[in-house]
Structure formats: C-alpha cells, structure tokens
Amino acid sequence: MLKKLKYSFIAFAILLFFGSMKLFAAAAAVSDTLGTTAKPEHAGTLPEVYMVLPFVILLLMIATGPLFYKHFWEKHYPKVSIVLGVVVVVYYLAVLNDEHSLMHTFAEYISFIALLSSLFVASGGILIKVDKESTPMLNVLFLLFGAVIANVIGTTGASMLLIRPFIKMNRERLKPYHIIFFIFVISNVGGALTPIGDPPLFLGFLSGVPFFWVIDNVWFIWIPALLMILLVFYVFDKMNKTEYEKIEYSGKIQFKGFKNLGYLLIIIISVFIDPAVIPGVPSLAPLPFGIREIIMFAVVYFSYKGADTEILKANEFDFEPIKEVAYLFIGIFATMIPALQLIANEAHALGHKLNAGVFYWATGGLSAVLDNTPTYMNFLSAAIGKYSADIGTTLTVTNKMHVMQFVAADQIYLQAISVASVFFGAITYIGNGPNFMVKSISERAGIQMPSFFAYMVKYSIVILVPIYAVIWLLFFYGKG
Amino acid sequence: MNTIENALNKNLNGLCYGNRIILPFNCTFLKVIIEDDIITDFSPASKGIYVREKDDFTELYFLEINNVKETVSKYENIKLVAVEKGDNLFDLKNHKKIALYIEEKHNVKIEKTEDDILFIE
C-alpha cells in the first residue's frame, strides 16, 4: 500500500513537472526557478468557477477527516489529495493550456516542503531536558523564549523541540491549558516575525515579499498580542493549585544533539541562497528547485542518518507528520491555483469595498478553519488584485516583481494578512500544522486533550478572539 | 502466573502478529496508548481493544488497527499503565509504566519507561 502511494505521489509530481516543461524551455533564457522575471501572462484564461471545487473539497476533508471519519482519512488521505490535485493539473494542461502556473506552483511546493521537512528532521534529533520545578513565571519565560525561537527555527521546529521539556517541567501539575497555551504562543503567534517562522510567511517570501519586511512591519503588533496571551496564561497558571508530591529537582538543563543545531543553522543560512536574494547564486532553471532546496534535502538525509538513535527513541521520532504534510500540501498547492486566480480577479473588481479590517478578519477567519498557508496566498492575491484596480494595471501574485511592487506601495494590507494568517492559525487544531503535532505528542504522552470543539469553545474563542479584536482596533480599524 | 516484574527482570519479549500483541505476564490494565489513541475502556464493549487473559500470558487485540507493526514505527512505542495481579490497584505506587517496542521477527521488546520518554499518567 505504502509503495503504491509513493509511486502515485511521484507520478503526480512528474506530471506537474513535465507538463510544465514546455513553457519553461521557451522561457528558460530569462526565467529563474521561481518565475522572478518576465513571463507571458495568462490574461483572459481564467479558470471556470467550478474548478475551485477540488480545493474546497480538499480543505473540508482536511478539516473534518480527523474528526468524523478518522480511520478512513488516515488510510486514504494521500489518494484523496493526489486525485483532487490531478483534476486541476489536467484541467490546466488540457483546457487552459497554462503550464506556467503549474510550474510556478510546483517550484513553490518543492521549496515549502524542503524547508518544513529539514526543520522537522533536524529538530527531531535534538533533545532538551529541563529538570526544574515549573512556576507560572518560569512557564511564561519558557513560552516567551519559544516564541522568539520560533522565528529562527520555525513554529514546527520550535514546537517539536520544546513541547517535551515543557510537558516534563510541568508533569506534576500539568493540565490541558498548558498544552493549549503552548499551541497559542509557540506553534502560532510567536512565529509571526520572519518568513522562517510560519509557512504562510515563507510562501510570501518565495512569492517576493522581502525577508526582513515581516519583522520591520509586524514586531509592534506581535509584542502586544504576545504579552496579552502570556498575561492570561499567567493568571491561569497562578490559579492552578494542583497538589502534588514534592520531587527533588536538580535544576539542570541538558541539551543533546548539538550536531543537529549545526544542521538548523545550515537550513537558516540556505533560506537566503536564492538567485533573487544573492546575485551570483546559480539558477538551476528550468528545474523546479534551486541550490537552496538541494541543501535542505541534504540536511534531511544527513541529520536523520547521523542522529543519535537514543535521541530519536526519546523523541519517539516518526516521519508520519511530515509525510502527511507532503501529501496534503501537494494537493493543496495544485488545487488552490484556480482559487488564487479567481480571487485576485474578484478583488480587482471589488477593490474599493475592501479595507484592511476586512482583510484582517477574512484572512483570520479562514486561517482558523482552513490551513493558514493557502489562506495567506489567496488573500495576498486578493490584495494585489485590489491594488491593481487602484493603480489601473494588472498585477499577479505569481510574479515576484509584481509582489515587490505591491509590498513597497501598499503595506497595511500585507500587514493585516500576515498577522491574521499567523495569529488565527491558533483558533483550531487544524489552523496550523504544528497544532496537530503538539496535540498528537501530548496524547502519545498520555494527556487527554480537549476535542476539536472543546478546544475552541473553552479556550481559543474565549481567550484569543478578544485579544485579536484589540489588535484589530489598535492597528487595522478604519484603515486602508 | 507471570508478573510484570519477572518479565522485566528476565528481559522476556512479547510477540506481535497483525493486530494482536502477546505479553508474557498477567496484569490489570489501566491505560494503553497507541499512537495518539488513549484507551481506558477495557470492557467487553470496548471499540479500541480486547484483552484476553491466559494462565501465563495476556493477549491484546487492537480492534481499530490491522497491523500494529505498520502503525507503530521504529522509534515509537506503545505505552501501558498496569498493575500486578494481587497488588492494590488504588495505590498509585503500584502503577507500572511500560513501553513496548515492536521489533523484527514478531518480537516485542518490553521496557520500563525511561526518564527521557514522556509519559503522564
């Protein structure tokens, strides 16, 4: 079964790749792997509205599968994702004759999965042991540290690395809210400052948003949001009066797997190894990947092969979470192409009715219940569509120069989209990839986590939505 | 009747065939964790697990899993909270935490959970 799935995955990737090669051969002289330079636009070849259906079906199944038909979903999600993706690929090849969109998307997918898998595997070979008694203040400092680190090794890497020591520290007085605030802070909100922090921001970077734009324009929103969440956590933790047997703590912090820290550093450096960022870096066009992706995949291989098996055992390391991301996202990336193009077109028409507040709540609302990465791309596409209408020209999210032009001219919308897509990912377990990973690690440790709806009703809606409303009032209300 | 302590001291292995795990001891189960499923219902109506006790061993059937070896990967484990037969169930000090590793040739390695492994009862 697994072999069959692997073959279908590879076949799908090849279909995407070779289906797109024709156009790239023609454009190779001037294009790089991510389509940073001039390319023929596919103006006038918008997809039919019904082609959004595969995207909608896939996202709905991702949301409902683990909850309502878990065993079917666990067994068949790769097939579902690939079949829905193939429908869109065939439509673009056979009906629209638009190979460029496919190739561009495939290159983005390769970059995306290279970053996530390398962070996932490299951090899986690191073990941190904190033998200290937890206190509310120590927990707050730990979460704050995790929030900062999430911007360096991603919310995925930080979650993988820190959830175990956090559970260990709190093992005598652990309640589900500890894990939930960990998800709020480290798996989501914390990672809003850099493109490495959270997948939507990385996709924005790949699409042309400058690397340091995010920290320059989001830090002053990040700080109050984080402080408000940590304050609520402190109150919760202070009220936790669980009685427990006192244990002797050594106060030591142990760190194992230094070698993998080096691999994390390599990943971070390699993010910048892009012809568009550092002139002189060779482009491997027409291949849909570059030197950066080769380095990241090499890190996956070497960090796993060279990892200490005792650490992997202690971390209960398993490829399943990243395999799931790889399968689901190849479907998401393929099926979201029509949605991106149609939304940009609609925003072009409705531009004057959309302000920053609308972008904030709409991006946030959808990021909460769908995955935040495609949501970010859809609303970035919409914002560019609106900007196009304002300046009377046609810009697209699939052209890096257009994205750069938009970012330089109209920052408030991208601020709203960036903040909302990252922050609101914490509203549900499915809002962001690491949420489910943290939930799963906690359950494997024996912690009974709240159900999908209990998580929302008891925690995220009650705690986060008011905080996000304050952020809206302070930064986006009546703007744009 | 074999005890958990005896199995651990003698490094006895269990066996795994499909969805069935055979453990070389008798005990009372309080909790079984496989992947992210936390099983606490050991009644005959349980949808997650069926436990059958024999004189010298115990069989666990995971009802929602076809093949345990395919489900639990190399570095993962199945965690158990169990109490020796005859020991006071209500004394938390008698609760034993055990990890099962699925190995080649149907072997199941039985270990007391190490300090490194996360296991909150």
For B6-63, the pLDDT digits (tens) are 999 999 999 999 999 999 999 999 999 998 788 999 999 998 999 999 988 999 999 9
Which of A310, A318, A445 lies closest to B73 in CB terms? A318
- At A137 the pLDDT is 95
User: Residue A351 has what pLDDT?
Assistant: 67
Q: Report whether B77 contacts B114 (CB < 8 A).
A: no
Q: Is A448 on the interface with B (CB under 8 A)?
A: yes
Q: Are residues B76 and A318, on separate chains, in Cβ contact within 8 Å?
A: yes
Q: Does B38 touch chain A (CB under 8 A)?
A: yes
Average pLDDT (A422-431) is 89
Q: Chain A residues with CB inside 8 Å of B74's CB? A: 312
**Mean pLDDT, range A248-267, rounded to an integer:** 88
CB contact under 8 A, A174 and B31: no
- pLDDT at position A313 is 87
Tokens, residue A228: 């408000």
Res A27: pLDDT: 33
Nearest to A372 by CA among A168, A201, A224: A201
Task: Assign B99 a pLDDT band (cuts: 50, 70, 90).
Answer: very high
Hey, of B74, B75, B97, which one would you mutate to test binding to chain A, going by the most A CBs within 10 A of its CB?
A: B75
ipTM of the complex: 0.78
pTM: 0.80
3-state secondary structure of B79: strand
Share of chain A above pLDDT 70, in %: 87
pLDDT tens digits along A192-209? 999 999 988 988 888 889
φ/ψ of A328, rounded to 5, equals: -65, -40
**Average pLDDT over all residues of chain A:** 83
User: Where do we find the tokens 């890190």?
Assistant: A299
A444 touching B, CB under 8 A?
yes
Kindly state whether B31 is in contact with chain A, defined as any CB-CB distance less than 8 angstroms: yes
CA nearest A311 in B: which residue?
B116
Write down the pLDDT at residue A44: 53
For residues A317 and A323, is the Cβ–Cβ distance under 8 A? no
Statement: residue A1 has pLDDT above 70: no
Whether residues A316 and B117 touch (CB distance < 8 A) is answered with yes
- Give the per-residue pLDDT at A87: 96
Between CA A220 and CA A217 the distance in angstroms is 7
**B121, two tokens:** 């009862």
Tokens linked to A222: 């990040």
Mean per-residue pLDDT for A314-322?
Answer: 84
A366: closest CA among A78, A109, A159, A63?
Answer: A63
Does any CB of chain A come closer than 8 Å to the CB of residue B114? yes
Interface probe, candidates A313, A448, A449, chain B, greatest B C-beta count within 10 A:
A313
pLDDT at A41 over 50: no
Cβ–Cβ < 8 Å for B58, B85: no
Percent of chain A at pLDDT > 90 equals 40
